[in-house]
Amino acid sequence: MLKTRILRVLAASAAATLFLAGCGGGSSPSGMSSMKLSVGDAPVDAAEKVVVVFTGVELVPDNGTPVDITFDAPKSIDLLNDSGTASAQLFDQPVPPGSYGQIRLLVLADGDPSHSYITLTDGTMHGLQVPSGAETGLKLVSGFTVPASGVVDYAVDFDLRKAITCPPGQSPACILKPALRLVDNTTVGNIQGTVDASLVVSGCTPGVYLYSGTVTTPEDMNSTAPATDTNQPLASKAPVLAQSGGYYYQFTFLSPGSYSVAFTCQAAVDNPDQADSAVTFSPVKTGISVTAQQTATVDIP
């Protein structure tokens, strides 16, 4: 059983609306700007696929009419294989410039596994359900600006370890919650690397955890920890077996700065809603510098 861990275009006129509905990129009409939006994540433990069907996107401005982008055909995206540093694009087209306060991802996630679904490592498939998803979709309340006659490139980063839960009694469907954030692709960088295969011993469920700055005593996920706890991780990833040997991991959409990563074999017992003393970390790598639009390679020996 999977535990809690683990991701209208209405313009000013009818003519603009018709143009946007069929646009797939290219130059923007007069008075419009160009926006790219993609979705991304990286491998997560206990799952082989996390497929979400997107039918459109709604951009909610601070003032004025929402911008609805309805796809000609639903887009089925595997967040484990079509994302990470190579994010899966939702759209690239003109939108009205201005300040926006919310993005609503319209998804077909009603618990029916023929729509959005998760496939676990044991081979079982479960439909994904977004509570009130038919009415609200996945809401992301995050302000952003589209400059006049400009180009913006954003990504929605799903934190699948927090977003997906399969509570007892809910089977066969699992819940997909809006645990996501909006990032500007031009201002962020990435960390990637391999974990030496010798660390993944028998009975090990490997996990790599990310921390801000230089972590002194790495902790596991704990939503009840105080905001001042600097040993709390920013994110965690389940490394996957690489063809070249070892296990590959990556953290994407990181703001420039200094980071640390730590390895554990007890990722399977990390309950993100409490401190788990059974989760220990070794080795720990500190002093990792992240630069915008660059990927830092940090191998864990």
Mean pLDDT over each residue of the chain, to the nearest integer: 82
Taking CB atoms within 8 Å and a gap of at least 24, the contacts of 242-245 are 242/194, 244/194, 245/194, 245/197
Question: Are the C-beta atoms of 116 and 128 separated by less than 8 Å?
Answer: yes
120-177 pLDDT, tens per residue? Answer: 878 888 899 887 656 678 888 888 999 987 889 988 888 776 778 777 665 678 888 7
pLDDT digits (tens, 9 = 90+) for 202-237: 999 999 999 999 998 999 999 899 989 999 999 888
The DSSP result for 134-203, as a single string, is: HHH-EEE---EEE-TT-EEEEEEEE-HHHHEE--TT-TT-EEE---EEEEEGGG-EEEEEEE-GGGS-TT
Reported residue count of the chain is 301
What is the largest distance, in Å, between two alpha-carbon atoms of the chain? 63
Compute CA distances 38 → 1, 79, 117, 180, 285, whole Å: 30, 11, 19, 12, 30
| Position 78, amino acid | D
Single pTM value for the model:
0.66
Count, in order, helices (H) and strands (E) of the chain: 3, 21
Residue 8 pLDDT grade (very low, low, confident, very high; cuts 50, 70, 90): very low
Interval 249-294: pLDDT, tens:
888 888 899 999 999 999 989 988 899 999 999 999 999 999 998 9
DSSP annotation of 83 reads: -
104 bridge partner residues:
58, 139
Q: Give the strand order in the sheet containing 33-40.
A: 88-95, 33-40, 151-158, 180-184
**95-125 pLDDT, tens digit each:** 999 999 999 999 999 889 999 998 887 888 8
**Three-state secondary structure call for residue 259:** strand
The C-alpha atoms of residue 85 and residue 68 are separated, in whole angstroms, by: 27
CA R_g for the chain:
20
Task: Give which of 196, 285, 184 is closest to 245, Cα–Cα.
Answer: 196
Cβ atoms of 132 and 106 within 8 Å: the answer is: no
Rounded distance, CA 50 to CA 164, Å? 9
- Antiparallel, parallel or unpaired: β 125-129 and 117-120: antiparallel
